[in-house]
C-alpha cells in the first residue's frame, strides 16, 4: 500500500493501492459525523471465468453515528459474450433496512452467441432493485424490425416491428423457484406469458392487436377468429411438450432437442392429423370425418372456394429427399349434382 496524503487537521485523505489484485485510488474527507469518500478501482483478476470487472467508480457518505450509508457505483464489465457492459447502481444501508440497491445494466454489442439472440439483446437494458435476500429484475429490448430475423417476408409484413420485456423476482435462498414473466408487443401479435424455472413449465397467451397488419393481409383470411391462442408447455429432460389451442383447433407437439425428432397432433372440427419428423423424413396421417364439416370450420378462418363434394377420408403418406408418396381411402363419397339452368 502507498499512502499519498493524510491531512489530519482538515480531516482529508487521499491514497493509492497497488497490488497484484487491483489498482485503486481512494479519497475523501470527514465533516462532523459524516465521512464523504470516493474510490476508483481497476481490478486485475476475473470475477469468474466468463466475466471481468474492468473499472469501478464509487461515491458514498457514511454517517459514523448511525452507521447508515448512501452512495452509488458506476462500473464497466466485460465477458466472453459482451465487451461493453455498463452498470450503474444506488446503494443505501441502515440498521433497520439493511442493504438496499437499485440500478440498471446497459448491454451493447455481443459476440460468440446466436446471431438472432445478439440482435435481440443489443442495446437492451436490465433494471434491478432489491436487498440481500431477493431482487426484482426487468429487461427491455429496443424496438426491432421483424425483417432482421425473418427473411423473405411478404411486402405487407416487411415493416413489422416488435419489442420484448422480461420480469423476474429472484429469491437468493431458492433461485430455482424464480419465475420469469415475459411480454412481446408487436404490430402482428402480442404475447403474454411466464416461465417457471423449477418445473421447466411455460404458459403464453397470444392476442391480436387492434391494428395488426395481419387483419388486412388477405381478404379471405379472418385472422381474428384464430385468437386468443392459449399455449402450455413443459420441458422433461430432452423433450419439450407443448399444447396450443383456440376455438378452432387443438395442437399437441413433442420435440426432442437431441435428435430433433418432432411429433405433431392436430385436432379440429372433423379433422385429426398426425405428423412425425424423424431423421430428415416425414410421415403423416390425416382423418377427415366429413369434408363439408371440415370446410365449414376452415371457412370460419379462411374462405375456401365452394365445392359440392362430401366424403369421409383417410390419407397416409411420407416425404423424404424431395419425394412424396401418399394413399387416400374414402369409405364413402357424395357429389351434389345441380342441373344446368338456361
Q: What is the pLDDT of residues 218-272, one digit of tens each?
A: 888 899 998 999 999 999 989 999 999 998 899 999 999 998 899 999 998 889 9
Asked whether residue 19 carries a pLDDT value surpassing 90, the answer given is: no
Asked whether residue 18 carries a pLDDT value surpassing 90, the answer given is: no
Burial of residue 163, with CB atoms counted within 10 A of its CB: 0-12 exposed, 13-18 middle, 19 or more buried: middle
Contacts of 164 (CB under 8 A, 6+ apart): 120, 139, 140, 141, 182, 183, 184, 185
Burial of residue 110, with CB atoms counted within 10 A of its CB: 0-12 exposed, 13-18 middle, 19 or more buried: buried
Helix (H, G, I), strand (E, B) or coil at 299: helix
Residue matched to cell numbers 415493416: 159
Least confident of 112-116, 244-248, 334-338: 334-338
Between strands 281-288 and 271-278, the pairing is antiparallel
- Evaluate whether 160 touches 182 at the Cβ level (below 8 Å): no
Mean pLDDT within 36-50: 83
Residue matched to cell numbers 371440415: 294
- Evaluate whether 121 touches 141 at the Cβ level (below 8 Å): yes
Asked whether residue 336 carries a pLDDT value surpassing 80, the answer given is: no
Q: What pTM was computed for the model?
A: 0.81
Amino acid at each position: 500500500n502507498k499512502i499519498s496524503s493524510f491531512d489530519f487537521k482538515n480531516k482529508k485523505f487521499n491514497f493509492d493501492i497497488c497490488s497484484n489484485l487491483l489498482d485503486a485510488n481512494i479519497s475523501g474527507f470527514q465533516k462532523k459525523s459524516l465521512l464523504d469518500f470516493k474510490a476508483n478501482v481497476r481490478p486485475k483478476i476475473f470475477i469468474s471465468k466468463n466475466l471481468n470487472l474492468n473499472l469501478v467508480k464509487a461515491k458514498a457518505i457514511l454517517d459514523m453515528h448511525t452507521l447508515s450509508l448512501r452512495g452509488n457505483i458506476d462500473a464497466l464489465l466485460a465477458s466472453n459474450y459482451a465487451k461493453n457492459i455498463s452498470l450503474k447502481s444506488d446503494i443505501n444501508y441502515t440498521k433497520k433496512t439493511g442493504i438496499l440497491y437499485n440500478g440498471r445494466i446497459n448491454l451493447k454489442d455481443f459476440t460468440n452467441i446466436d446471431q438472432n439472440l445478439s440482435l435481440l439483446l443489443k442495446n437492451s437494458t436490465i433494471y434491478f432493485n432489491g436487498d440481500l435476500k431477493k431482487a426484482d429484475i426487468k429487461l427491455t429490448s429496443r424496438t426491432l424490425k421483424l425483417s432482421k430475423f425473418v427473411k423473405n417476408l411478404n411486402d405487407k409484413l416487411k415493416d413489422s416491428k416488435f419489442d420484448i420485456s422480461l420480469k423476474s423476482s429472484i429469491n437468493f435462498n431458492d433461485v430455482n423457484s424464480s419465475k420469469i414473466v415475459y411480454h412481446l408487443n408487436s404490430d402482428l401479435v402480442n404475447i403474454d406469458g411466464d416461465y417457471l424455472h423449477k418445473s421447466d413449465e411455460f404458459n403464453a397467451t397470444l392476442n391480436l392487436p387492434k391494428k395488426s397488419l395481419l387483419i388486412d393481409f388477405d381478404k379471405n383470411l379472418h385472422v381474428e377468429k384464430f385468437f386468443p391462442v392459449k399455449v402450455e408447455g413443459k420441458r422433461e429432460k430432452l423433450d419439450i411438450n407443448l399444447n396450443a389451442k383456440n376455438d378452432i383447433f387443438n395442437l399437441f407437439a413433442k420435440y426432442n432437442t437431441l435428435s430433433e425428432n418432432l411429433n405433431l397432433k392436430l385436432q379440429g372440427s372433423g379433422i385429426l392429423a398426425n405428423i412425425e419428423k424423424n431423421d430428415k423424413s416425414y410421415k403423416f396421417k390425416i382423418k377427415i370425418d366429413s369434408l363439408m364439416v371440415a370446410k365449414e370450420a376452415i371457412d370460419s378462418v379462411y374462405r375456401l372456394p365452394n365445392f359440392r363434394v362430401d366424403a369421409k377420408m383417410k390419407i397416409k403418406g411420407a416425404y423424404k429427399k424431395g419425394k412424396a408418396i401418399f394413399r387416400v381411402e374414402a369409405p364413402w363419397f357424395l357429389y351434389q349434382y345441380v342441373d344446368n339452368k338456361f
